[in-house]
Amino acid sequence: MHRKLIPLALRVSTDFIAAMGVATVIGYSLDGYLQTRPWGMVIFTVLGIMAGGLNVYRGLTTLQHKDRDDG
Amino acid sequence: MVDPLHQFEIHTLIPLRLLGYDISFTNASLAMALTTLIVMGVLTLSLNVRYQNPTRLYVAVESLFHFVGDMLKTYVGRAGWVYFPYVFALFMFILVGNLVGLVPYTFTFTSHIIVTFGMAALVFIGATAVGMARHGLRFLRLFFPEGIPLFVAPLLVPVEIISYLSRPVSLGVRLFANMVAGHVMLKIFAGFAALIAASSFGVLAVLPVAMNVLINVFEVLVAVLQAYVFTILTCIYLNDAINLH
């Protein structure tokens, strides 16, 4: 069980940061097109943090689910 | 002090141009070609089995084969078996590429973000195409699962889309960052060793060298683990595309 947790630990942290980064970049570029600085970036960063939380949750539940299947 | 980032520089070995693009054969291309040759060579040699006597190489390659196969079976199921060649090739390429990079004087192509991001983008586009081909527009259900009240849609759909778009980024950045961090660490400790050896306490240079030996062992672990993580995430993304919940 502990051996399986090492790849997981390496995974979820990047998943969280990547979602935040992607969302911030989307928000920033939307601002450029729509001239709505800084609202796009603010809203999308918040959405990105939520998406990051979702990623972490998914990563953890997928592993548990698969473990149960293995028995 | 040696520049720890110098090892990641790209040098042109054979200059080539095609339609105005620079497609020169560089040291990164050489490392990739070497990796491909090693993978192909080992796999071909392992098949050189006479009758009922499997060689050690054959058993080793077979266990790698089962390792990836079991991963695919656990995470995707029977339907994912058609994608085995792709997943296995990806795993072998990253694994051998990471390990080749650990040999002194070679080049680690997985320490370039464009290489890892290219592989991640291929997985992302491939998985999306597979999902679209299998489920058509029903694939978009991935962003709004059934049985969820409609009023959360304006919040849930953007969050799900961002979460989906973040996949190739996290996949590519993770492999890149792990390889770069390890190699920079090795170079920095090697630089310490050189500086201390040149000073009046030259004997103490043993300490950073010993540290480097430990880091090198750790780097082998990271190289294998990152190949494993990349492959397992490929399986998970394929699973999302094939078995729509």
pLDDT above 70 coverage of chain B, percent: 98
* Nearest partner of B142 among B131, B150, B151, judged by Cα: B131
What's the average model confidence in pLDDT over B151-170?
91
Which of A10, A14, A23 has the CB atom closest to B162's CB atom? A23
ipTM above 0.90, yes or no: no
Cβ–Cβ below 8 Å for B166 and A7: no
Task: Retrieve residue B46's tokens.
Answer: 């392992």
The conformational region for residue B48 under phi > 0 = left, psi -120 to 50 = alpha, else beta, is beta
CB < 8 Å from A in window 45-104 of B: 74-75
pLDDT above 90 coverage of chain B, percent: 51
| Rounded-to-10 torsion of CA B148, B152, B153, B156 | -90
Which ranges of chain B does DSSP label H, i.e. alpha helix? 27-46, 56-75, 84-102, 113-135, 153-198, 206-242
- β-bridge partners, B22: B17
pLDDT of residue B54: 78
Contact B81, B140 (CB under 8 A): no
Model pTM? 0.88
* Contacts B155 to A, Cβ<8 Å: 50
* Contacts B162 to A, Cβ<8 Å: 19, 22-23, 26, 44, 47-48, 51
- Summary mean pLDDT of chain B: 89
Question: Is B158 part of the contact surface with chain A (CB cutoff 8 Å)?
Answer: yes
